[in-house]
Amino acid sequence: MKKQNGEITIKELINIFIPKLWFILLVAVLCSALLGVFTSMKKDTYTSTCTLSMGKTPLDNAGSSNTGINSAEIEAMRNMIESSVYILQSASFCEDVYEKLNEQYDEYSNVKVSDIQKMLSVTLLGEATFFSIHAKSGDPKLSQAIAGIVYTEFPRAYMERFDYAIRITGNLNYPEIPSTPDNKNVMRNAVIGFVGGALVSALLVFLIVKFDVIIRSREKIEENFDLPVLGVIPRLDPDD
């Protein structure tokens, strides 16, 4: 019987994918191998993270600690946190970090200000005004050293620019030396490559078959047109 509304049956799916199973597995294995090799050859990076929060400075002269924040102020502070990356990566701030780094660590004298600018990033946490500052490099101790300096210096640098109503506080998560590299899980990435390759190749096979308008079998004629096939004319070569 002719299928209604272009529905696809389980039998049709089996007929589509089983003959091309070798191709699907081949693509999946190749993608898995390529992603696994790429991951293993990729240079290790280590990220050290510190957590800070933004709050409202009391505006009265009595030193009141009443600093309740409404939803509009929270949204404004979150926007300020997102834009604080420009302060964090600015040449002036990174020069301060560079000077502190050379004062505290003799072994990192070869690190440049431009290197520090590339290491630093900001991430908002949750729906409140907590945020993380990340320092990423190829040396876990260097990442921790940079993050530790930023943990101390960033609130001061921010307050110098916005000291009228905003304050940055720490004491939440002091940066530690990262023990493992970022995303260097070869096995996990190989599995992701295998699954991704299998899905993409299966989709490609399905699309090729569905858009193929050539009728290649007697069964296909009967299925599509709901008509019996009375006979088949064999194909003859011109030389016969």
Q: Which pLDDT tens digit goes with each residue over 92-127?
A: 999 999 999 999 988 888 999 999 999 999 999 887
* pLDDT of 76 above 90: no
Backbone angles phi and psi of 149, in degrees to 5: -65, -45
Are 50 and 144 members of one domain?
yes
Q: Could you tell me whether strands 120-125 and 130-137 are parallel, antiparallel, or unpaired per DSSP bridges?
A: antiparallel
pLDDT in tens, 209-229: 777 666 666 666 666 667 777
CB atoms within 10 A of CB 149: 23
Residue 4 lies in a domain: no
Are 75 and 149 members of one domain?
yes
Residue span of the structural domain in which 17 resides: 10-40+185-215
Residue 152 lies in a domain: yes
Backbone angles phi and psi of 166, in degrees to 5: -115, 145
Are 55 and 147 members of one domain?
yes
pLDDT higher for 63 or 204? 204
Are 56 and 113 members of one domain?
yes
* pLDDT of 171 above 70: no
Using CB atoms within 10 Å of the CB of residue 76, give its burial: 0 to 12 exposed, 13 to 18 middle, 19+ buried. middle
Q: Is residue 77 within 8 Å of 69, Cβ to Cβ?
A: yes
Confidence of residue 83 (pLDDT cuts 50, 70, 90): confident
Last residue of a domain, one of 173, 197, 228: 173
Residue 153 lies in a domain: yes
Out of 21-25, 32-36, 181-185, which region has the weakest mean confidence (pLDDT)? 181-185
Q: How many domains does the chain have?
A: 2
Are 167 and 200 members of one domain?
no
Residue 114 lies in a domain: yes
- How many Cα atoms occupy the beta-carbon half-sphere of 211 within 13 Å? 6
Work out the average pLDDT over 14-32. Answer: 87
Structure tokens at 31: 């993608």
Domain with 162 in it: what CATH number?
3.30.70.1130
d(Cα 101, Cα 113) in Å, to the nearest integer? 10
- For 202, the 3-state DSSP assignment is helix
Structure tokens at 237: 């070569």
Confidence of residue 82 (pLDDT cuts 50, 70, 90): confident
